[in-house]
A and B are shown apart, each in its own frame.
Chain A
Amino acid sequence: MHPREGWTEDRRGLVTRRGFLKQTAGAGLLLGSAGSLLEACGGASSGTSGVLTSNGIPLPRPNHPVTWPIYKDNPAIKSGLPPEQNATLRIFNWVAYLNPQCMTDFGKKYNCKVELTTFQNMDDALAKLRSGQLNFDIFFPTIDVMGELVYGKLIQPLNHSYLPNIAQAWPDFTDPFYDGKWHYTVPYTIYTTGIAWRKDHVPENPYAMANPWAMPWQAKYKHRVAILDDARESISLGLMKNGIFDLNTTDPTQISAAGKVLHDLAKLTDVHVDNNDYTEIPSGQTWIHHAWSGDIATAASYMPKGVNVDVVGYWFPPDGKGPVGNDLITVLRDAPNPVLAHMFQNYMLDINNVLTNISFNGYMQPINGITPQRLVKEQLLPPSLMSTTVLPSYFRRGVMELQIPTATNALWEQAWLQAKSA
């Protein structure tokens, strides 16, 4: 799941109904992907070291990193190629997740046009990519679909000679556990999930609480509490409230118990379930909101007149032991402009362009020099919300919501559905 899931061009945070026919069309084409999967399992040029698997696809974990295979029929582009001329670089990304200024500047620098097409959730994006009808160059996936992208041969391996700016990224991302030796990905945004609250309405300070994850469970804030409309994030909240920090648990008892405490929360506070943390906390519509760091980082833009942004707080465990997520930039296998696509990846790893991007979407990127102090100095972040920034140690110590086996995913989704229907 993702902070930008369900966003539309019209208005942020609105969920839309997916069509059945679109799914069935994609499903039919999945047969082709399954064929590739079987081929991959039998004929990969290098193996993987992941232990957990789901239907034969390894599931990367920090303690069981995965290096994805590179196929002979899906090689990286050759080194030293010139960028495509008079080309149109086509980007496939989440809504409101990339600063248009970055696209304009890149187009000027490399004498090309840049077009953006958006998607609202990863399932829809993958269905479109599987159809093979779209010729995008760049795709912004989440970590949990790496197996599907590689085994389905939807993305191409990277030629690192085009990506010198990787030196600007945190060292962790030159060999991340989800893509050993960064064969296929460069990092994009990184974010945490924590608790946002209005200090002027809620006197409790989560930093002084024994279990801050339990902060939403307060009957006195009935109708003023909200949790994210996201099965993985909210069941994870329930797990952490119960003291469990394995956010990829396959234990039905733990999942059920997490669903139960969320059910209790619904009864206790008639909890709001939405992803409008970025507006509801600034406007005061809700006072405690389970929230994404990047959303709260933009709170200053949504404050009502006369209300200082200092009244907004964001808590994430100071020791970094909380949910951390990061997104990726990949080059699609059938990219018409693979050289330009590599150059765009490289462009988005440069600190100046990263700062431009953060000024638009609020989400920081794991680039050396992007520190809380720098963001405050650049006036991209109010000092009171420095806790929304992600530190390199969080990536190592944090807990990630990663791909889980299909049957377990169904358990998580069912528990969430029941909790929401309290």
Chain B
Amino acid sequence: MTVPSGVSASRRPPRQQRQPRRLIWVALAAPGIIWLAVLFIVPFYAIFAIAAGRLDVFGTPVAVWNPLDWTATNFAAAWHDVAGAGAFVGPIILRTLIYVALASALCLLIAYPAAYFVARFAGRWKGLILILLIAPFWISYMMRMLAWIDLLQTDGYVNKVLSFLHLSSQPIDWLGGLGLTVVLGLVYGYIPYLILVLYAGLDRIDPILIEAGRDLGLNRVRTFIRVTLPLSRQAVLTGLLITVLPMLGDYFTNQLLSGTTGTTMLGNVIDDQLTSAGGVLEGQGAVFSLLFLLVLVPPLIYYVVSTNRSSRRAM
């Protein structure tokens, strides 16, 4: 198909006019981009400067800013923790991955139908339901977790409800070091993020495309599988990225809802290293923090490639 040259000329401003307009947008975006870049680069470099740093005369870690003075001591110590003779981090990494995978799957199972309902069927209640869904955001994460501690006590309301419904003959020790409690805590803590992102993605799907699927003879389930799900793939990916990243580094949920050695996650190890007396293990904590970044690079690349691909397809 060709576009008549006259139409193109009337819709698009001349090159001389487009140039200043583009510059205005660049100027408007620049502060934000610079801000984000600085807030990424400076902390990243600070972490690296500690990871490659040394201890001072008081035994306190010192950030070494000059790359020529960097040492590999902390990297070697971290490697020793992962694969050396006294390695202990391997099972914790595995446990962390399992917890996060389970929590993410549960989040998706719960969040997708909720977001789908709001986007497609909530009608005039859409605003109210959205507000209710994001209401937990108004309370700090710490306070929400503290509330769960009270609810999950052996004589708490959760056990009382289970007992009332005859689902449990004796109180369950939810806070006694159960991995399930930690996973459910992660789900509860991060699910609002996923719902919001999924809602934004599902709400953008043009209803005409879904109607077209139905018109072409697909039933509801097949329409969902063949039309809605593929169109919401980007939202699912974005939502999972947003929830998985903080879950991987989470240490607070486990600390509050379990606190036993049997549920330790990698975030707890890093937290312990950062809060070691005198900060003597802070350098190793910095190395593990950097490792997190490395782990996160592949999914981020996949996300960027996938987004670009779908954008091109849409054009």
Chain A residues at the B interface, C-beta cutoff of 8 Å: 1, 6, 10-11, 14-15, 17-18, 20-21, 23-24, 26-28, 30, 33-34, 37, 54-57, 121, 123, 148, 223-224, 226, 231-232, 266, 270-274, 283-285, 406, 409-410, 412-414, 416-422
Contact = CB atoms under 8 A, between A and B. Distances in A.
Given A30-B58, A409-B280, A20 B261 contact: no
A57 B86 CA distance: 31
B271 A15 contact: yes
A8 B140 CA distance: 15
Contacts of B203: none
A34 B57 CA distance: 7
Interface in B131-187: 142-143, 146, 153-154, 173, 175-177
Given A30-B60, A123-B278, A285-B153, A24 B46 contact: yes
Contacts of A272: 177, 259-260
Given A30-B58, A409-B280, A273 B260 contact: yes
A14 B55 CA distance: 27
B259 A274 contact: yes
Contacts of A123: 60, 277-279
B275 interface: yes
Contacts of A26: 60
Given A17-B274, A223-B176, A23 B282 contact: yes
A413 B276 contact: yes
Contacts of A419: 261
A121 B269 CA distance: 18
B58 A148 contact: yes
B58 A422 contact: no
A66 to B, nearest CB: 16
Contacts of A27: 56, 60-63
A341 B293 CA distance: 48
B251 interface: yes
B281 interface: yes
A23 B279 contact: yes
A421 B43 contact: no
B29 to A, nearest CB: 26
B92 interface: yes
Contacts, number: 141
Nearest to B146: A11
A15 B278 contact: no
A30 B280 contact: no
Interface of B: 43, 46-47, 49-50, 55-63, 86, 88-89, 92, 142-143, 146, 153-154, 173, 175-177, 251, 255-256, 259-262, 264, 268-269, 271-282, 286
B105 to A, nearest CB: 25
The residue in A11, A30, A37, A410 that gathers the most chain B C-beta atoms within 10 A of its C-beta is A410
Contacts of B269: 417, 421
A418 B275 contact: no
Nearest to A256: B86
Contact of B275 (A18, A226, A409): A18
Given A148-B58, A285-B153, A418 B88 contact: yes
A248 to B, nearest CB: 13
Contacts of A284: 154
Quick one: which of A23, A34, A57, A223 has the most chain B CB within 10 A?
Answer: A23
Given A1-B277, A285-B153, A413-B276, A223 B260 contact: yes
A421 B273 contact: no
Nearest to A226: B259
Contacts of A406: 55, 58-59, 278, 280
Q: What are the 7 tightest A-B residue pairs by CB atom distance, in nearest-first order?
A: A406-B59, A223-B176, A266-B261, A24-B63, A55-B57, A27-B62, A413-B276
Contacts of A416: 272
Contacts of A418: 86, 88
B22 to A, nearest CB: 36
A23 B153 CA distance: 37
Contacts of A24: 46, 49-50, 62-63
